[in-house]
Structures are given as C-alpha cells and as structure tokens.
Amino acid sequence: MELDKATSIIKALAEGIDPYTGEHYSSDSPYQTADTVRALSVAIIALEKQQKSIVRHKNLPRGAGKPWSEEEDSKLLDAYNNDVSIKELSKLHDRTEGAISSRLLKHRVINK
C-alpha cells in the first residue's frame, strides 16, 4: 500500500469517519475513544515523517553517503584550489553542497 493512501485512511479514522463510506462513526465507536484518536495521530505523524524522508532520499545525488576515495579527494582538492565553486563541485562529484563543504573542512582547506 502506498504511504499516501495509508495516511489518508488513518486521517479519516482519526476524524471519526469511515474511510470507505464517508459516514461518521458513532460516539461509542472504538475509533472515537481518546486513546485511539491519539494513537492514530501519532501514526499520521510517523507516516508523514517517513514520506518526507523518502522524498528527500530520492532527491539526493547518487553519491550521497558513499565513502570518499583517495582519488576523489584529490580531484576535489585540485578543483577547489583551481577556484571551482562548491556548487559546481557538488555537481561534479554527484554529492550535496554540504558534503563538499564538510570534506573541505576535513582537509582544512576551508574554515566553516
């Protein structure tokens, strides 16, 4: 099941609505108890957080999180010393700008 659909179903339940018929549950329904509504709200927050994480991960460059080789480090430092911008370096190395900055910091080429 897609996360969007699961979230939609759980939101309806938390609002006391049957997600399939649109009818409101009676006040004595288990979906209307305070603890159930709170539990469903926690589930919604968790699913939405997971969705954001998945979207972020899909938008990361392919090299994000991969270890750096000596060769890649050398190329990075050479390019930076030849005035290639961090933005351009991130494209060249298929990594985030933050990763490039962190690597340059590690090599003490830049100060924060």
pLDDT band at 1; cut points 50, 70, 90: confident
Average pLDDT, the chain: 94
For residues 59-75, average pLDDT: 94
State the DSSP code for 17.
Answer: B
> From the CB of residue 13, how many other CB atoms can be counted at a distance below 10 Å?
22
Considering 56-60, 68-72, 107-111, the range whose residues carry the highest mean pLDDT is 68-72
Count Cα neighbours of 80 within 13 Å in the Cβ-side half-sphere.
21
Asked if residue 13 lies in contact with residue 31, where contact means CB atoms within 8 angstroms, the answer is yes
Listed in sequence order, the residues at least 6 apart from 38 whose beta carbon sits closer than 8 Å to its beta carbon are none
Q: Report the predicted TM-score, pTM, of the whole model to 2 decimal places.
A: 0.63
